């Protein structure tokens, strides 16, 4: 598959976000070009790989698709610790999921490797009336009314503007996608591939080994649901 | 209540006229009365249907049942015979009530589960001393020649006119008729058993009354609630339907909690309720499928194990120690599909759960040995605890450290997650799953690496063996090539379990090593060939000319079982459930406490069956209704000879130890 001389390098990417926002669906769309209406929640995490061909080089994504449920939150550091890229996903029909996404961004900025490329992704664009996500939706910030959204056939609860300006402030890549239709999905990954600094690509080969060895002696990760959220860094 | 008494009553009378299940039911109660501890004579004033009916007013009418021919005649006859029931509770008290005939008519099942142990229409005798001395009850003269080969299922649905004629003239057959109709009635809804109860919000959906009726028509319910009455899980129906019942159940259970003698089960209107209390949790099984109490209890235990598997015991305990009113649904988020697929497989009937044993993929001894040694050689550290290759829930190979062995109940949870629940699918990458295996250690998590062989790997060993790269190739991005989804019974999984949360990459290289050595040689194709050829056929491969239709053989030493192909007659859910019900009742009978039974031969109008228990194996087999005892025992002997001969192909003996 590696055709000829094009340099190829691995990029470790982690997906984070609230449960059911469509992380696994985005990955499945990207890796298998497939979508399932009733995807079961991820248990733990799934590891997938997919190549992304850029004009000058091939990027091989090593993707950690994590489970969004609270009880797995304390495991997240294990996956983002050595990641070069993160995809923080929210569901643009669910304002609380953007709040959660902001928490993840903050945590990544605090604890992940300094050069990490973060993309903020608003998923389920197909549920909005502006289908392709070209223009921004009306108002309906924060706590919009459910009935109102359904009336207009537009389930959007997070405006493009709100998310986009937040992304700009934090210097994140920003996309609105639909895993269901496939809209913008490859674009997200390509943009990430392009945003990875050349320098950090040099070191990627063999990084697996290093990661495998770290922290064998560490305490068992605590999955206690009560404390999961509060103990973010505990697995380090 | 009365569980043991009930079973003894079922078995001990030397010759109750066959099929008089109603009489057995009475003996059930009367025998339990003899055992009772006459502590106090508080009479339970309760309607028989508590828990089955909402406590306000008469039950709503049931919706029309498509395709069910009502048999009022049968129902009436039967209802009369159980008109008065006596319930005994563990504290020795008893409740007597009248079963209102009208209500009985409105419920499809009355008798099927009445005795708490089941398959109506059978009765049995026992010879506890001579392992091969068996007696059957139905007069052998009823056997029309030429009908010997007829099998349980085909016979159930249609009989030759001659047989009908013969049957109608024979007085001793008559008692079966009603029961037979009952069985049909009770299982008529079986196809709908797995359909969801419609939700409230659905457009053009059903009203509350109708939804309740649908909910009630389910044959099998499982409910989990906290001791403070908070619902945790219900197999059917959303909270709006289930909530009030949870309340009733909680009230009933906690009523007995105070006494030292908690409520373990009761029967109401032909429905058996079994309750298991585990710390802060109540588990309730409500069944009209006729399992024994012990069997229902072990099903509830499995649900409890699933909860522990998600939370671990210390977490569960501390959640409730801090806040007894906690809503456990949140910490358990994502566990519901696992509980539901367990519940579904119990409802379909699972030989593995029934026998508490695992099934292996049949392989030549030398092939399995090569696979296991390749597995051992692939081992690349990572603190491996167990390694398994599993094909659609059947073990292919196991490696483990010397001091540990595998617990079937733990593996059932793992297999349920991988092969039944749809949560983990092949073609969706490798998985890294924190899991508590409660029988191994209920106090902590282990980490489970799971990867499925993709269909493509069969022919393309090169794609996975570029060992310079620790990561396997991605599935090519190709819209035309559909993902191998819906983890089928054909998919092969590599499962590697470690106590270390950071050992993913070590286990991944173990997997890569294993994949390349399996695909380099012929080993993977041996596995695939065996999967494709399926379980051996009873009549063509195992025992040509046998009168038997199906069997379960459990090797007790290996805690493994085998069975023949269920094709074609037991392929669809209903015949399969009938078969499994029969196995459940055989198993329940021979495993009843204080019942040291070695051989049980049982004859019904729809089947003949045999259970044979020895220190080394358990054999359960089923044949058509007219198979003679001699033919049956000969058939059983042949199975046992076959299993002995094939032992090292059918079972994993020891596995690979590192
Ligand atoms: N309409 C629509 N539905 C989507 C989209 N993406 C995902 N879904 C649905 O949303 C549900 C959740 O999707 P998942 O991909 O499992 O979400 P997740 O973020 O991986 O969830 P966890 O694994 O529990 O963290 C599934 O039923 C998907 O079918 C989308 O773009 N549009
Ligand atoms: Mg997911």
Q: If contacts are CB pairs under 8 Å, which of residues 5-44 in chain A contact chain B?
A: 10, 19, 24, 27-28, 31-34, 36, 40-44
The residues, ordered by sequence, that sit 6+ positions from B525 with a Cβ below 8 Å of its Cβ are B458
DSSP letters, B62-81, are: PPP-TT----HHHHHHHHHH
pLDDT score for B210: 78
Q: Is the CB of A42 under 6 A from ligand 1?
A: yes
- pLDDT tens-digit readout, A42-81: 999 999 999 999 888 899 999 999 999 998 998 999 999 9
Q: Is the pLDDT of residue B317 over 70?
A: yes
Report d(CA B524, CA B628) in Å as an integer: 44
- Band of pLDDT at residue A236, cut at 50, 70 and 90: very low
Most B CBs within 10 Å, among A76, A212, A219, A231, to test the B interface: A212
Contact A183, A125 (CB under 8 A): yes
Q: Could you report the predicted ipTM of this complex, rounded to two decimals?
A: 0.80
Atom of ligand 1 nearest to the CA of A21: 19
Please determine, for residue B175, whether its predicted confidence score (pLDDT) is greater than 80: no
Cβ(B514)–Cβ(B536) below 8 Å = no
Categorize the per-residue pLDDT at B166 as very low, low, confident or very high, splitting at 50, 70 and 90: low
Whole-number Å distance, alpha carbon A178 to ligand 1 midpoint, is 10
In contact, B610 and B621? CB cutoff 8 Å: yes
Give the rounded percent of residues in chain A with a pLDDT score beyond 70: 73
User: What integer pLDDT is reported at residue B512 of this predicted model?
Assistant: 94
Q: How close does chain B come to A7, measured CA to CA in Å?
A: 15
Lowest mean pLDDT segment, chosen from A28-32, A105-109, B76-80, B337-341: B76-80
Higher pLDDT, B104 or B227: B227
**Is the pLDDT score of B111 beyond 50?**
no
> Does residue A231 fall inside a structural domain?
no
Tally the domains of chain A.
1
Residue B222 β-bridge partners: B285
Residue A115 counted as domain residue = yes
Closest by Cβ to B428, choosing from A33, A46, A211: A46
CATH of B218-348, one of 3.40.50.280, 3.40.50.720, 1.10.10.10, 3.30.450.70: 3.30.450.70
B458 pLDDT tier (thresholds 50, 70, 90): very low
Is pLDDT larger for residue A23 or for residue A197?
Answer: A23
DSSP secondary structure letter of residue B136: -
- Give the least confident one: B146-155, B600-609, B612-621, B640-649: B146-155
> Cβ(A2)–Cβ(A23) under 8 Å?
no
What are the domain boundaries of chain B? 84-106+136-170, 218-348, 363-406+418-532, 538-652
pLDDT exceeds 50 at position B290: yes
- Most confident option among A174-178, A208-212, B108-112: A174-178
Domain B538-652 CATH assignment equals 3.30.450 = yes
* A94 Cα: distance to centroid of ligand 1 (angstroms): 12
Q: Which of the residue ranges B40-54, B288-302, B506-520 would you say has the lowest mean pLDDT?
A: B40-54
Atom 30 of ligand 1 has which residue's CA nearest to it? A124
Give DSSP secondary structure letters for B583-645.
Answer: HHHHHHHHTSTT---SEEEEEESS-EEEEEE-SSEEEEEEE-TT--HHHHHHHHHHHHHHHHH
Task: Residue B125: name the closest of B256, B9, B7, B13 by CA.
Answer: B13
Q: Residue B46 above 80 pLDDT?
A: no
Please say if the pLDDT value at position B485 is more than 70. Answer: no
Rg (CA), chain A: 18
Considering every ligand atom shown, identify the ligand nearest to the alpha carbon of residue A46 and give its number: 2
**pLDDT band at residue B125, thresholds of 50, 70 and 90?**
very low
What band does B80 get if pLDDT is binned at 50, 70 and 90? very low
pLDDT of B205: 60
pLDDT interval class at B617 (50, 70, 90): very high
Report the pLDDT value the prediction gives residue A164, as an integer from 0 to 100: 96
DSSP structure string for B526-544: HHHHHHHH-SPPIIIIIST
At a CB cut-off of 8 Å and minimum separation 6, what does B252 contact? B50, B51, B263
- Compute the C-alpha angle B27/B33/B35, nearest 5°: 110
**Looking at residue B19, what is its pLDDT?**
30
CA neighbours within 13 Å on the CB side: how many for A53?
Answer: 9
Provide the 3-class DSSP secondary structure of residue B181.
helix
Report A:193-212 residues touching B (Cβ under 8 A): 208-209, 211-212
- Print the SS3 string covering chain A: CCCCCCCEEEEEEEEEECCCCCHHHHHHHHHHCCCCCCCCCCCCEEEEEEEEECCCCEEEEEEEEECCCHHHHHHHHHHHCCCCEEEEEEECCCHHHHHHHHHHHHHHHHHCCCCCEEEEEEECHHHCCCCCCCCCCCCCCCCCCHHHHHHCCCCCCCCHHHHHHHHHHCCCEEEECCCCCCCCHHHHHHHHHHHCCHHHHHCCCCHHHHHHHCCCCCCCCCCCHHHHHHHHHHHC
In a domain, A2, yes or no: no
Nearest-CA residue for atom 12 of ligand 1: A20
Residue B104 has pLDDT above 70, yes or no: no
B102, B172 Cβ separation under 8 angstroms: no
- Residue B28's pLDDT band (boundaries 50, 70, 90)? very low
| B121-135, B197-211, B237-251, B427-441 — most confident range | B427-441
What was the pLDDT predicted at B209? 77
C-beta separation of B269 from B5 below 8 A: no
What's the mean pLDDT when you consider all of chain B?
71
Relative to beta strand B394-400, strand B656-657 is: parallel
**Range with the poorest average pLDDT among A207-216, B198-207, B556-565:** A207-216
Q: What are the chain B neighbours of A71 within 8 Å (beta carbons)?
A: 310, 331, 333-334
Contact: A70, B499; criterion CB under 8 Å = no
Kindly state the helix (H) or strand (E) to which residue B391 belongs, with its residue range: strand B386-391
Q: What integer pLDDT is reported at residue B566 of this predicted model? A: 85
Fold assignment, B363-406+418-532: Beta-Lactamase (3.30.450)
pLDDT above 70: percentage of residues in chain B: 65
Interface contact A224-B315, CB threshold 8 A: yes
Tally of residues, chain A = 236
Over 60: is that where the pLDDT of B597 sits? yes
**What integer pLDDT is reported at residue B65 of this predicted model?**
44
SS3 content of chain B, % helix, strand, coil (to 5): 40, 20, 40
CA distance A78 to chain B (A): 8
Phi, psi angle pair for B530, to nearest 5°: -65, -40
Q: At what angle do helices B174-188 and B573-590 cross, to 10 degrees?
A: 120
Domain ranges, residue A163: 11-198
Q: What percent of chain B has pLDDT over 90?
A: 36
Ligand 1 atom nearest A18 alpha carbon: 25
Question: DSSP label at B46?
Answer: -
User: Cα separation of A210 and B383, whole Å?
Assistant: 16
Residue B58 has pLDDT above 70, yes or no: no
Contacts of B416 in chain A (CB under 8 A): none
The answer to whether A125 contacts chain B (CB < 8 Å) is no
| pLDDT, tens digit, 9 for 90 and up, residues B350-392 | 999 999 999 999 999 999 999 999 999 998 888 899 999 999 8
Task: Please state the φ and ψ torsions of residue B168, each to the nearest 5 degrees.
Answer: -70, -20
- What pLDDT shows up at residue A228? 34
d(CA B312, CA A72) in angstroms, rounded, equals 14
Q: Which range scores top for mean pLDDT: A20-29, A196-205, B473-482, B527-536?
A: A20-29
For residue B387, which phi and psi values (nearest 5 degrees)? -125, 140
What are B339's two structure tokens?
Answer: 């509980």
For residue B627, pLDDT over 60 is answered with yes
Average the pLDDT over B280-309 and give the result. 92
Q: Name the range with the highest mean pLDDT among A1-15, B196-210, B426-440.
A: B426-440
Say yes or no for a CB contact (<8 Å) between B428 and A28: yes
State the best of B380, B441, B471, B474 to mutate against chain A, taking most chain A CBs within 10 Å. Answer: B474
**pLDDT tens profile B405-456:** 778 899 999 999 998 887 787 777 899 999 999 999 999 999 999 999 865 4
Residue A191 within a domain: yes
Q: Is the CB of A44 under 6 A from ligand 1?
A: no
The 10s digit of each residue's pLDDT in A183-203 is 999 999 999 999 998 777 754
- Both tokens of A178, joined, read 């639909």
Give residue B184 CA to ligand 2 midpoint distance, Å: 42
Mean pLDDT computed over B278-291 = 90
Q: Does A72 contact B at CB distance below 8 Å?
A: yes
Domain CATH for A31:
3.40.50.300
Kindly state the average pLDDT of the residues B455-478: 38
Distance A158 CA to ligand 2 centre (A): 21
What is the number of the ligand 1 atom nearest to the C-alpha of A125? 31
Residue B72 pLDDT > 70 = no
Instruction: Please indicate, yes or no, if residue A209 is contained in any of the structural domains.
Output: no
State the pLDDT at residue B251.
Answer: 85
B538-652 has the same fold as B363-406+418-532: yes
């Amino acid at each position: 598959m590696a055709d000829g001389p094009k340099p190829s390098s691995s990029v470790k990417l982690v997906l984070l976000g609230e449960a059911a926002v469509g992380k696994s669906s985005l990955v499945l769309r990207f890796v298998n070009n497939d979508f399932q209406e009733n995807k079961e929640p991820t248990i733990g995490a799934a590891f997938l790989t997919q190549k992304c061909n850029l004009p000058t080089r091939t990027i091989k994504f090593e993707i950690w698709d994590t489970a969004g449920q609270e009880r797995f939150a304390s495991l997240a550091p294990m996956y983002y610790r050595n990641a070069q890229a993160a995809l923080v996903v929210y569901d643009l029909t669910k304002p609380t999921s953007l709040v959660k996404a902001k928490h993840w961004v903050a945590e990544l900025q605090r604890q992940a490797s300094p050069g990490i490329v973060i993309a903020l992704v608003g998923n389920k664009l197909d549920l909005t009336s502006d289908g392709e996500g070209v223009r921004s939706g009306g108002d309906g910030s924060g706590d919009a009314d459910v009935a109102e959204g359904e009336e207009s056939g537009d389930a959007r609860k997070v405006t493009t503007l709100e998310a986009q300006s937040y992304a700009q402030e934090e210097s994140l890549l920003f996309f609105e996608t639909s895993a269901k239709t496939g809209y913008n999905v490859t674009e997200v990954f390509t943009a990430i591939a392009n945003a990875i600094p050349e320098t950090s690509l040099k070191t990627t080969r063999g990084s697996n080994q290093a990661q495998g060895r770290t922290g064998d002696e560490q305490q068992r990760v605590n999955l206690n649901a009560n404390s999961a959220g509060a103990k973010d860094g505990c697995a380090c | 209540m009365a569980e043991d008494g009930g079973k003894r009553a079922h078995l001990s009378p030397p010759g109750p006229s066959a099929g008089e299940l109603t009489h057995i039911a009475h003996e059930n109660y009367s025998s339990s009365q003899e055992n009772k501890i006459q502590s106090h004579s508080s009479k339970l004033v309760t309607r028989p249907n508590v828990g089955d009916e909402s406590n306000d007013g008469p039950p709503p009418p049931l919706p029309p049942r498509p395709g069910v021919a009502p048999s009022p005649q049968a129902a009436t006859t039967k209802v009369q015979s159980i008109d008065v029931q006596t319930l005994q509770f563990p504290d020795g008290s008893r409740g007597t009530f009248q079963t209102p005939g009208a209500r009985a008519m409105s419920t499809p099942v009355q008798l099927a589960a009445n005795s708490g142990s089941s398959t109506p229409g059978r009765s049995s005798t026992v010879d506890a001393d001579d392992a091969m001395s068996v007696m059957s009850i139905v007069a052998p003269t009823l056997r029309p020649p030429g009908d010997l080969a007829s099998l349980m299922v085909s016979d159930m649905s249609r009989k030759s006119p001659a047989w009908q004629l013969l049957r109608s003239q024979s007085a001793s057959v008559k008692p079966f008729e009603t029961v037979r109709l009952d069985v049909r009635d009770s299982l008529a809804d079986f196809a709908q058993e797995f359909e969801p109860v419609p939700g409230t919000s659905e457009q053009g959906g059903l009203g509350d009354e109708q939804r309740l009726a649908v909910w009630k028509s389910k044959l099998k319910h499982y409910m989990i609630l906290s001791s403070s009455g908070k619902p945790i899980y219900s197999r059917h129906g959303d909270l709006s339907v289930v909530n009030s019942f949870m309340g009733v159940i909680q009230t009933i259970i906690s009523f007995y909690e105070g006494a030292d003698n908690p409520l373990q089960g009761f029967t109401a209107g032909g429905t058996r309720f079994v309750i298991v209390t585990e710390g802060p949790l109540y588990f309730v099984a409500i069944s009209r499928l006729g399992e024994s109490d012990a069997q229902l209890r072990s099903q509830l235990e499995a649900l409890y194990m699933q909860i522990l598997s998600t939370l671990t015991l210390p977490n569960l305990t501390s959640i409730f120690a801090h806040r007894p009113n906690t809503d456990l649904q949140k910490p358990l988020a994502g566990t519901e599909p696992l509980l539901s697929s367990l519940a579904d497989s119990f409802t379909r009937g699972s030989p593995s759960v029934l026998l508490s044993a695992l099934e292996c993929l049949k392989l030549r001894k030398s092939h399995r040995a090569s696979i296991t040694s390749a597995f051992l050689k692939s081992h690349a550290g990572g603190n491996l605890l167990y390694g398994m290759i599993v094909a659609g829930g059947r073990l292919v190979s196991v490696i483990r450290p010397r001091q540990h062995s595998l617990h079937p109940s733990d593996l059932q949870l793992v297999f349920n997650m991988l092969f039944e629940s749809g949560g983990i699918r092949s073609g969706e990458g490798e998985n890294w799953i924190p899991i508590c295996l409660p029988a191994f250690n209920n106090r902590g998590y282990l980490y489970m690496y799971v990867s499925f062989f993709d269909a493509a790997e069969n022919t393309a060993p090169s794609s996975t063996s570029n060992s310079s790269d620790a990561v396997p190739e991605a599935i090519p991005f190709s819209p035309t090539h559909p993902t191998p989804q819906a983890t089928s019974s054909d998919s092969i999984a590599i499962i590697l379990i470690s106590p270390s949360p950071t050992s993913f990459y070590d286990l991944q290289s173990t997997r890569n090593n294993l994949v390349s050595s399996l695909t380099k040689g012929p080993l993977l194709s041996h596995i695939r060939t065996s999967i494709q050829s399926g379980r051996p056929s009873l009549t063509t491969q195992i025992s040509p000319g046998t009168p038997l239709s199906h069997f379960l053989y459990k090797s007790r030493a290996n805690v493994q079982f085998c069975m023949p192909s269920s094709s074609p007659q037991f392929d669809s859910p209903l015949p399969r459930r009938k078969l499994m019900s029969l196995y459940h009742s055989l198993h329940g009978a021979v495993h009843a406490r204080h019942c040291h039974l070695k051989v049980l031969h049982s004859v019904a109008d729809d089947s003949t069956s045999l259970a044979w228990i020895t220190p080394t194996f358990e054999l359960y087999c089923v044949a058509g209704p007219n198979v003679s005892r001699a033919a049956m025992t000969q058939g059983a002997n042949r199975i046992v000879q076959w299993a002995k001969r094939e032992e090292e192909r059918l079972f994993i003996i020891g596995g690979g130890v590192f």
